[in-house]
Amino acid sequence: MTTETRVLSGRYRVDDLIGRGGMASVYRGYDQTLGRTVAIKILRADLAGDAAFRTRFRLEAQAASRMAHPTIVRVFDAGEDVEVGVDGNERPVPYIVMELVHGRLLKDVIAGGPVPIDDALRYVDGILEALEYSHRAGVVHRDIKPGNVMITDSGRIKVMDFGIARAVSDSSSTVAETTAIVGTAAYFSPEQAKGESVDARADLYSTGVVLYELLTGRPPFRGDTPVAVAYQHVSEAPVPPSELNDDVPRALDAVVLRALAKDPFQRPQDAAGFREDLDATVEGKEPTKRQMSALSNELYGPNPRQAAETARSLRQLSTDTTMRRTQPGPPVAWIWAGVAILAVLLVSVLLWVVQIQPSNDVPTAGRTIPDVVDMSYDQAVAALEEEDLSAKRVDVADESIAAGNVVRTTPGADTSVAVGQEVTVYVSTGADTATVPTLEGITESEARSALEAAGLSLGLVQRQPDPALTAGVVISASVASGIEVAKGTTVNLVVASGTVVINDYTQNYPVDVAQRELESDDKQLTVRTQEDPGCPATTPALVKTQSLAPGEVPVHSEITLTYCSGS
């Protein structure tokens, strides 16, 4: 008994299962229209039952499909089919069609322990290259983790599942629920763990977690439950990677700790900046221990482990068996005196740690910067003036904040500053836009140059037969010319293949029928007919041979049809 082959939407054949995750199953598939092998991700039935989720999922998948970059797994299509369940009722089957990548998941590489420093930097640089492109396109991944990164057989990085995490997280109400669907909480940013809105800097935090795990073989925070891990992301300082792996240079410690800053404004502000920080570690001078301590205090506050470190030093001293005696008898009194002194020091350190805990009280000579994000500039100035602070305006492009509203301030909200402090207020000018140039009728290379000059990106190039155009001439674009779009937007093209497809006319085709078809507007070929007196004539005259083989032939070709004319 054979199993019927499953075909989605009459186009995508579903073949063998190649992976299964918490959200979907992935199958090897075949696009019967374009004749190519693909990967097909089919969503879980419980997610598919939510109509609002299916809408969000389709929109996010469509946004991801506009991205075309070597470090990103391409999304070719997204759709919805139906299937009949065991209860006889129809149910929706949302799916996405992706590029099929041959290689290994990064999580399988990390499972073997810390990777060499050079490999770790190369892998993370590939992730950041993908994020640099996607963030320019306005797409935040939200679920960067080793399970969403592939290393191809040629050693390239491919990041997958762009946009899907947003559709899922918008459908979830709690950290625990989101974690069960999107992935492990080990890679959450603090703002994700707290359920706050996120931007591109959340992806940079998650990338910092991946870098930490590559260097040490383990994530910075671990716990028995996702909520316990999320709490650590929000409130605890990570151990520097070099304390877990002696091969990690302190220069990398500094980069990792800054990427894992709780405050997004203390992290690298974009993927390009993160990549520059990594590049600087290759030839840069390593920071001193004092500089590392200052950086840790800047990012995470006073170190709560100091008392524990002092206690551990005391235990190590009291159990050290390598010290040789220089006295004729056991110096018991001295040992007890030393223990007493260290005990006093320990108590002093504990008191110091308690006393330096940050206070919520603002000194009378100081002011607290109010949160003015998404206010109009005039409202922000008024709010700052109420705190006896001055404002300095800087305009920046931002797609997520309405033009004229505040994007952020420096210093940030809730920071204590002196009276009269000048606060830099970054005001949105809206999305940085560009006008789509006229692309139809020019060559593919000319179109690429025109898009780059306009600040746009060339996306998918689909080749299509057109009997009137030579190879490479643009037939149409996914965005009409003259339209204003955000800079970095990807524009897909349909270009002429320079060929037309002809049939096998030797299969009982009358000569006049074949000639009409070949000279039609769809083919536009030049047809010549030739008699063959060596074989008996038929009525009507049938094509015996054709000078061009069936399949694709160059446009405006000449073809000769031979037919029998003998007696």
Question: What is the enclosing helix (H) or strand (E) of 53?
Answer: helix 51-65
Burial class (CB in 10 A: 0-12, 13-18, 19+), 361: exposed
Specify whether 143 is catalytic. yes
Q: What residues contact residue 426 under an 8 Å CB cut-off, 6+ apart?
A: 394, 395, 396, 406, 407, 408, 409, 410
Distance CA 377, CA 373 (A): 9
Residue in 77, 125, 143, 161 annotated catalytic: 143
Residues 216, 232: Cα–Cα separation, whole Å: 18
Say if CB 69 and CB 75 are below 8 A apart.
no
Cα(538)–Cα(542) distance, rounded to whole angstroms?
7
If we measure between CA atoms, which residue out of 101, 104, 84 comes closest to residue 93? Answer: 84
Contact (Cβ atoms closer than 8 angstroms) between residue 520 and residue 500: no
Q: How far apart are the first and last CA of the chain?
A: 55
Half-sphere exposure of 100 (CA within 13 A, CB side): 17
Q: What distance in Å separates the CA atoms of residue 138 and residue 249, rounded to the nearest whole number?
A: 34
DSSP string covering 184-242: -GGG--HHHHTT----HHHHHHHHHHHHHHHHHSS-S---SSHHHHHHHHHH-PPPPGG
State how far the Cα of 452 lies from the Cα of 457, in Å rounded to an integer.
Answer: 6
Is the Cβ–Cβ distance between 388 and 364 less than 8 Å? no
Distance CA 561, CA 567 (A): 19
- Residue 337 vs residues 307, 331, 332, 340: alpha-carbon distances, Å: 20, 10, 9, 5
In terms of DSSP bridges, do strands 390-396 and 366-368 run parallel, antiparallel, or are they unpaired? unpaired
- Dist CA 511 CA 1 (whole Å): 46
Q: Where are the beta strands (DSSP E) in 269-326?
A: none
Instruction: State the SS3 of 144-173.
Output: CCHHHEEEECCCCEEECCCCHHHHHHCCCC
Kindly report the three-state secondary structure assignment for every residue of 418-450.
ECCCEEEEEEECCCCEEECCCCCCCEHHHHHHH
Distance CA 528, CA 519 (A): 11
Q: How far apart are CA 452 and CA 459, in angstroms?
A: 12
Asked if 280 and 217 touch (Cβ cutoff 8 Å), the reply is no
Catalytic (active-site) positions: 143
